[in-house]
Structure 1
Amino acid sequence: MSVLIRGGVVVNADGETRADVLCEKGRIVAVGTGLAAGADTEVIDAGGQYVMPGGIDPHTHMQLPFMGTVTADDFFTGTAAGLAGGTTTIMDFVIPSPQESLMGAFKKWRGWAEQACSDYTFHVAVTWWDESVHADMGTLVNQHGVNSFKHFMAYKNAIMADDEILVKSFRRALELGAVPTVHAENGELVFQLQQELLQAGVTGPQAHPLSRPPVVETEAVQRAIAIANVMNTPLYIVHVSCAESVEAIALARSRGQRVFGEALAGHLVIDDSVYTHPDFDFAAGHVMSPPFRSKAHQAALWNGLQAGSLHTTATDHCTFCAAQKATGRDDFTRIPNGCGGVEDRMSVIWDTGVNGGRLTPSEFVKVTSANVAQIFNMYPRKGVIAVGADADVVVWDPEATRTISARTQHARGGFNVFEGRVVRGNPSHTVSNGKVVYAQGDLRAVKGAGRYVERKPFGPIFDALQRKRQSAA
């Protein structure tokens, strides 16, 4: 069956135009005025609405084994929630345990993801190093469509990558045409601060932001930028949360470095007062890393998005229920780190960004889909309404309002960091792979309908960077 989206305003990263959009066999086959509908065509009336590329969330954790438990959302429930919110592709993370082969972990995650109902792709984390890791990185890039590798600079005694691993992995990524990404927090400083707080008897969620002040993030951001500069690699920094990190990225870019920054929807609208809430379940429900910051840091993140120092928006969707969070009731370091948001990112950013006068609709498309697709080499298959692109489309009603609540969300976990927030601007319809999967509140997610998206390595610019590094050596 074909899908015709008629009478809306098509919004891409480079502008707006009134047009119909015809989808057939999973692709967009026509964009123009007066398109005709066949006998078997499902017609969506988009009058008074925007027609935009489906959202791409570049940072999710579905079915993640972490801190002694497993996230509440698996690949079916998590991607279904995403579709309800207008997100049609997720970028999840394969995270091998230390000494676990990258290929073994990748195959395990691929198996878990077979139940996804939207498209998905993977970053693969480098958590340890030997020659097998070097070889597996090549196999992943050349045979399995992986072109980004994640490095946790935090979580000492678990998955933290030290400077030696960063140098070796960045070098290998450059050889392969892949993008290194980092979770930037100084893991040693975090560990020491955690121990000091526990020894002082500060054991509740209020200690979490105290153990991860902005300086531990900024130091790691600056260190990662310096290593990437010496190695001549691009760098993508996930969940940037503080003003100093935005400034470090802007400075590096002003000097010609290819550094990209990601902001989380939660960090853009939630402040650190949540950690002093008297209810443990509420405070613990907001424990994630980096933690939520003050309103001054929120303003800096918005400035970074507006100025182009930050490029993408994500959620770090990583849900845990109250019983899982309660394992850290007497020791905040045992509270599983993670919050949800894949269902609400688009609406929160539209309401706060576009309605708030911070972003234009085209800039909204940039930071919710187009930039991700370009940075990770999925464009123009993803991130644009154009002939030949995947038929991943969200029809956006700018006047529709809803109140975000855990009681009505499709995601699991029973908690929502945006609880009670009223947002204006929501999807009326979501089209994924050419099929209507969400229509006016009716979620039609099909388990296993999602496809794995292979991403080719980068070519000429990486070749030039490689030559530059070799000549410098």
Structure 2
Amino acid sequence: MSLLIKNGKIVTAVDEYVGDILIEGEKIVAVGQNLNYPVSKVIDAMGKYVLPGGVDQHVHYSFDFKGEKVRGFETSNAAIAGGTTTVIEFVNQEAGKGIAETIFEYDKKEVSKLAMVDYSYHGVICEPTDKVFAEISNLPDKGISTVKIFMAYKGLPFHSDDAALFKALKASKDSGVTVMVHAENADVIDILQKECVAKGQKAPYYHAVSRPMLVEIEATQRAINLAALAEAPIYIVHVTAKEVMEVIRDANNSGIKVYGETCTHYLMLDKEDLAKPNFEGAKYVCSPALRSEADRKALWEAINHGWLNSVSSDHCGFDWKNQKHMGVNDFTNIPNGSPGVENRLGILWTYGVNTGKISRQRLVDLFATTPAKINGLSHRKGHIGVGMDADIVIYNPNHESIITNETSLHGVDFNIYEGFKQEGKVDKVFLRGKMMIEDGKFIGQEGDGQFIPQNAFGLCFEDIKKVKKFESVSKI
């Protein structure tokens, strides 16, 4: 099928212009002005913005917390409804199995049949053995170029110590695998949690009390030091606070190849949300914990200046009534995480672009272009240009709505942005040339998504100041 999208205002990470996009099958074959070709369908996007499909590098569709499992890829239509056409899923290594073995068994059993969005994988190291570290060098041959280490969650299967992190860093660098880190001091958190519980401080707010900013700062600095010793790049996920961001920024400026992301909820919410009555605060239990209003302001500045280079959702769909209530008498038993993949673009547009905190080009860079580069997908994803996958979002800026769980597709019983205003609307979304969203409604099918193999040696292996930018357009 051929498709011509005409007269839209095309936005890339470096440019903005009114133009046309010609799509043949799954690929973009021309970008320019006044294109006239015989095609199967023409869409007039006049008055609307045309963006590359988003790449959300941080989602959890298989996460298990004390036996409770999140909503899976059967809810991935929420991603594409929010303008995200590619997600990267964290898969915890199963006991006795390799990283790739675990991933592709999961892919065959669940994901390939259900995915309504394209996807890649991060491996999560849970058994830090020499055999597992030896496997890292072979992961890029299987299309996996990122692995994650959890420094947090003492006592749970996915927690790793410093030795595991250091060995992973040493094993990764020559094969071009990026190590991602959840940086919190697990031992200190364990002590603080037990102290809170012993004092009878068991409400959701004490999740933040037991995970103060210093445990994130300490672990982030420690992870950076280990990366410097290993002479390997490192990526710090879900950065929450000004001081944590500054540790990353200053280390990067000193020549250490460390980079970081933040998430939409750290830009929009703070720890006072955890104090909401009637156990409503449990909806906002995520790790690291929400911080302060001052931290939110600093994080907006950080993403605008490039001190953090991506905004993810950290989507994690636990139900409030039936799962979060595991911790109704003890906050340490509340499953961590909240849904958010559907709201990432709307939040960045409404509270970033429309308030002047970031430009539209910066939004595209944070939402799509740089996440694709970090994860070895920039040969196909994250940019509107000739030869790229035809992942296109048409965004109507002349629309206003209120975010509500009633219209969400993420499959749980709450939305942490309930009642927030959203300016603009995802009008249409194309996944490799196939229309998946029409007039804001999902019209695709389960199984429309594909596994997209990652290339090794992503952005974290380059000096970010010397990375060649995309050419703005290919015009004819």
CA distance in 2, matches of 1:228, 1:138: 17
C-alpha change, 1:47 and 1:304, in structure 2 (3 Å) is same
C-alpha change, 1:366 and 1:221, in structure 2 (3 Å) is same
CA distance in 1, matches of 2:128, 2:68: 25
Deviation track 1:138-168 (CA, whole Å, cap 9, x = no partner) reads 33222x1111110000010111110100110
Residue equivalent to 1:203: 202
CA distance in 1, matches of 2:379, 2:50: 16
Residue equivalent to 1:161: 160
Deviation track 1:85-137 (CA, whole Å, cap 9, x = no partner) reads 10000011011245543233212321221110110001111123212202322
CA distance in 2, matches of 1:219, 1:127: 22
Check the 8 A contact 1:184/1:224 in 2, yes or no.
yes
Residue ranges of structure 2 left out of the alignment (5+ in a row): 464-476
- Structure 1 SS opposite 2:405: coil
Residue equivalent to 1:24: 24
Number of residue pairs matched? 459
- Structure 2 SS opposite 1:411: coil
CA distance in 2, matches of 1:308, 1:130: 36
Amino acid at match of 1:132: K
Deviation track 1:55-74 (CA, whole Å, cap 9, x = no partner) reads 11110001322221110x21
Residue equivalent to 1:428: 427
Residue equivalent to 1:337: 336
Amino acid at match of 1:9: K
CA distance in 1, matches of 2:397, 2:257: 34
CA distance in 2, matches of 1:392, 1:76: 20
Check the 8 A contact 2:178/2:458 in 1, yes or no.
no
- Structure 1 SS opposite 2:452: coil
CA distance in 1, matches of 2:462, 2:234: 16
Residue equivalent to 1:292: 290
Residue equivalent to 2:149: 151
CA distance in 2, matches of 1:119, 1:392: 10
CA distance in 2, matches of 1:141, 1:431: 28
CA distance in 2, matches of 1:65, 1:82: 20
Check the 8 A contact 1:128/1:165 in 2, yes or no.
no
CA distance in 1, matches of 2:67, 2:255: 42
Deviation track 1:364-396 (CA, whole Å, cap 9, x = no partner) reads 101001111112221141111001000001011
- Structure 2 SS opposite 1:323: coil
Residue equivalent to 1:241: 240
Deviation track 1:393-419 (CA, whole Å, cap 9, x = no partner) reads 101112222211111101111110000
Residue equivalent to 2:271: 272
RMSD: 1.7
Deviation track 1:337-367 (CA, whole Å, cap 9, x = no partner) reads 0100100000001111100101111011010
Residue equivalent to 1:468: none
C-alpha change, 1:249 and 1:459, in structure 2 (3 Å) is closer
1:109 and 2:106 are equivalent in the alignment: yes
- Structure 1 SS opposite 2:137: helix
CA distance in 1, matches of 2:66, 2:30: 48
- Structure 2 SS opposite 1:251: helix
Deviation track 1:278-332 (CA, whole Å, cap 9, x = no partner) reads 121x211111111111101101111111121100011110011121111111111
- Structure 1 SS opposite 2:120: strand
CA distance in 1, matches of 2:68, 2:215: 26
Residue equivalent to 2:48: 49
Residue equivalent to 1:399: 398
Check the 8 A contact 1:152/1:184 in 2, yes or no.
yes
- Structure 1 SS opposite 2:23: strand
Check the 8 A contact 1:85/1:343 in 2, yes or no.
yes
* Paired-residue identity, %: 36
Residue equivalent to 1:301: 299
C-alpha change, 1:184 and 1:461, in structure 2 (3 Å) is closer
C-alpha change, 1:460 and 1:16, in structure 2 (3 Å) is closer
Amino acid at match of 1:385: I
Amino acid at match of 2:409: H
